[in-house]
Every structure is written in structure tokens, then in C-alpha cells.
Chains A and B, each alone.
Chain A
């Protein structure tokens, strides 16, 4: 196992000296991840994801329980672990903001003592796959968010880590940038060299990258399962949003539709439908009844999924 935790718990003391109280950020996380896996680590804000990641990477000491990453004790062997994992935070940078991207990579390679030949090979590959040639000489502070994230991921991979931890890597990126990053990560993981642990609020990130999903809430693991199983069992309704060319009454009697909401004086309708219904068939059925100007399909958000999971995981 590349990640092995047992009953990981982390408390924080918050408040002033006079009114101090104990908050449990992570209550009980037991998690085993095998080499080569790609695991989506999900949960609403404040569920304990970041705290767990900090404990796995040696930044925080667990209050109780144990963790082993790459066979090391994360806190006691923090610097050794640093050589063997890569970490990308969507909201903080590991690059040097005043250096050209290329020099940031260079320093990163030197810090990790990557042999020159291996460094060149690895860098060339990342530059090509992530299309970074045009901005390698640009100082990091002048990069767009999308360019910077490509740089962050490259830096985290230069030393060929066994485990890559990504904390909301696609946050704030436009669709094209998200997609480029996902396909790159998926390719890297597919070669079996690196294990991925990914936190995100973006369901497509998980669908594209992860076969396995671990959902935590209130510091506990709610579900740990294959993504496909999870969706079948818990996914909430999708919503077909149809924009009409003329106002219409609420569309009743559509196959598989469980709820209809009318907006914009009947110009827009939101049709909620269950997992057993195909969006394509539903669109065709609607199109036979009214003239459509536009359609979109809203996937259930991670929050919806987690809410459903949470409700169903409570003892009856």
C-alpha cells in the first residue's frame, strides 16, 4: 500500500484562551491506497480533506491514529517523504514567482537532485504534453492561472514521485485548461508510474481521472467505492434545462422526468430526471413537443452526491 492510515484523527483548539473549544476536523479516517490507483477524495468544504492531506504529507501531526505514506512516517520522515511525493495545491504556488518558469523547474530539479538526463527527459515530455513551449521563459508572476497550473503539475512530477497529491488542481481554470490538465494527468497515471490522490469539487475531474472515490464528511469516511458503483447507487437526478422559442405550459408526462420547474414566464423549463433515463432520448422527446432554442444538462454536483450519501449513510 502506498497510503495506509488507521483511525486518523485530528483535533484543533479554537477560540481565545478564555473560551477555548475543541473542534474535530478529522474524526476517523482509515484509508488504504495501492500503488498506481487514482483516488478521488471528495467531501464538502470543512469535511476534513485538507487536514487529512496535511497529515499524509507530514505538515500536521495527527492527534491520534497512524499514517504511513510510501512506507514512511510522514511527520518523522518528512524530508525523505518530500523526495518521493509531489503535491499540487490549486491555491498556493510552489514556483518562484519572480523567476521564469524554466528556472523554477531547474531549481526544483536541483532541490530534488534529479539526474540531468532524467530531468531533461521528464521536462521535455511535460513541456510537449502540456504545450508549455511558448511561456517557458515567462516569469511565473506573469503567467495566466491555466499556464501556472500546468507549471505546478510539471514541477510536482519532475522528480518522478510515487504519489501525486492534488488539492483542487482545476479550481478557477477555464474549460479548455481543465480538460488539458485532466488528459495529461490521466495519461501519466495510466502508465502506472504514479498514484493519484485528488481532491476537487469538480465532478468531471473525478469522472475523467478516478476509478475509485472516497467521500468524507464531518471527518469520517462515508463511502469508499468504485465511481461507477457509487453513481449507480447514489447519484441524484440530472436536470435538463430547455430554453424555448415561445412560452409553454409545464411539460407534463415526459418519460423518466420526476420534477418540472417553469422559469422566465415559461421560456425556460428545468426537467429533473433519474439515472435510468437517457438525456438524448429525453431531448428528442421534448423536441417533438416544443420548439427548442437551446438545451443544457446539469450534472448533480458533488455536494448533491455527498448530501444523498450522507442522508443514506445515517442509521435508519
Chain B
């Protein structure tokens, strides 16, 4: 398998960044602060209200923690896909197509911004705090949900990112659209979907399935009724949703590459 070369590519990317430890440390700190500001927003909201969309502060922090961890992992692993328009413009994509490797993994490993670990730290800390401060009944199922939810969430978000950025194969300047989808969906997952209007809620559940990243897993962990009365099965549906997302993203990416090969730059 040619894929065995990726650990070496990633290791080489990491080495480059650690060569300047101080600038690396500052970058990480900046990311921690950036991510923590969202948490501050939640704290500020709860100085004014006692519940948000039917959820207490600790419950909202749980949703935030799940969403932030998934977002941070996605940013770390897939964030590089945002550079696709640049790679197309400079011809670097052509160089990738000339190697005996798939284009997407090459693009994703072209740079691993380790500073994004700062976001992971904040997400995991918020998640840890929320898991401890909510009354969660620990069972094999809830343990499994707690561990897999951020990972499956990252898979769902990552697929959305890849598909959204692959739009630049069709549109010349679609990076703003892509950014709207990627960061917008990241932001929307941090709050209970009950705070949104019915149409936005439906979009978040089914079109861009970000409700499966944090909202439904949080309901599963909390074991509390859904204020919307949606079927309980949805709480455990992240794995099939993640698989569907991967399949959809792969389809979009492949037709994007094919389109690139048939239109050229």
C-alpha cells in the first residue's frame, strides 16, 4: 500500500514547525484564546438567562465541548483543504497528480498546522468539565458515545469541509462560500439546535447534518427528553450519518478532480 508513506510525510511537516519553538508556542496560545472566546460568549449569555433553548448552562457547555472538539480535530486533520484554490492556481495540484498517490491525502498532508492543537485542548477541557458537571449515568453506551462522538463529529464536519471546498473545481472564486459552510456549520453545532427557527433546524439536521455532531450525542449522554420530540434513534445515528457523509464527500471530490482534468486550469 502506497498509503504507508503518509506517516513520514506528516512527520516531516511536524518537524518543520517545531524548528521554531517560540513562534510555535505563541501560535498555540493564540488558538487557545481564540477558541476560548466562544466559551466566554456562552458564560455571558447565561448571566442573563437560566436556560437556553431549554438547556441549562452545563448542558450547553457539553454541546459546546463536543462541537469544539470535533471542530478542532477537523481543523487539524482537514483544514488544509481550504488551500485547494491556491493549489489549483499555482499548479501545485498538477504536481500532486503526477505522483503515484491520491490527490486528496496529499493535499491534506501538504501542511499539518500543529498550532491547531490549541483548539483541541480547549475543546477537550470543556468536554471534560461538562462530562463531570452534568449528571451523566455512565453505562457502556454512554462511555462509547462520549468517546466516539467527537471523532464521528470530526468525520462528519471533515466531509462537509472537503465537499464545500471541492466547489472550487467548478467555481473560480468559491472560497468565501466554502468558508461560510465550514465555519458556519462549526458555529451552528456549538448551540442546542432548539435555539434556531424550524427551517434552519431542519437544514442542520438533515441537509448539513451538523446536529449529529453535538446536539444528538449530547441528548444521548444526558439521557434527557428532546425538547423537539424527535425520535430517540437519531441520538445514536452518528455512525451511519458519518458513513453517508464520507461517501457524499468522496463523490463530490472525485467528480471535482474529473472536472479539473477535463477543464484544466
Contact string against A for B residues 75-101, beta-carbon threshold 8 Å, 1 for contact and 0 otherwise: 000000000000000111011011111
Query: A79-117 interface mask toward B, CB cutoff 8 Å, 1 = contact, 0 = none?
Result: 111110101010111101011000100010011110000
Q: Which of A50-58, A170-178, A272-280, A295-303 lies at the interface with chain B?
A: A50-58
Tell me the count of chain B residues lying within 8 A, CB to CB, of chain A. Answer: 22
Tell me whether chain B's interface is mostly helix, strand or loop, or mixed. helix
Q: List 8 A-B contacts (CB under 8 A).
A: A51-B264, A60-B262, A78-B97, A79-B100, A85-B98, A92-B91, A99-B12, A111-B9
Residues in B lying within 8 Å of A, measured CB to CB = 2, 5, 8-9, 12, 16, 90-92, 94-95, 97-102, 258, 261-264
The answer to whether A93 and B95 have CB atoms under 8 Å apart is yes
Is the pair A13, B95 in contact by a Cβ cutoff of 8 Å?
no
Known: A79-B100, A112-B100. A61 touches B94 (CB 8 A): no
Confirm or deny: A75 has a beta carbon within 8 angstroms of a beta carbon on chain B.
yes
Alpha-carbon separation in the docked complex, A190 to B195 (Å): 73
**Contact of B95 (CB < 8 Å), options: A61, A79, A92:** A92
User: Which of B12, B97, B100, B102 is close to A59, meaning CB atoms less than 8 Å apart?
Assistant: B97
In the complex, besides A61-B258, A82-B98, 11 extra interface pairs with C-beta distance below 8 angstroms are: A10-B264, A12-B263, A58-B97, A58-B98, A83-B100, A87-B98, A92-B91, A92-B94, A94-B95, A107-B9, A110-B5
Chain A residues whose CB sits within 8 angstroms of the CB of B8 once the complex forms: 107, 110
Of the candidates B2, B90, B94, B101, the one having the most CB atoms from chain A within 10 angstroms of its own CB is: B94
Tell me whether A54 and B101 are in contact (CB under 8 A).
no
Q: How many residues of A contact B (CB 8 A)?
A: 33
Give the total number of A-B pairs whose CB atoms are below 8 A apart. 71
Complex contacts, A54 vs chain B, CB 8 Å = 94, 264
Contact check, A75 vs B261: say whether CB atoms are below 8 A apart: yes
Instruction: Give the secondary structure class of A's interface.
Output: mixed
- CB pair A79–B101 under 8 Å, yes or no, is yes
Instruction: List chain A positions with a Cβ less than 8 A from chain B.
Output: 10, 12-13, 51, 54, 57-61, 75, 78-83, 85, 87, 89, 91-94, 96, 98-99, 103, 107, 110-113
A111 engages B2 (CB within 8 Å): yes
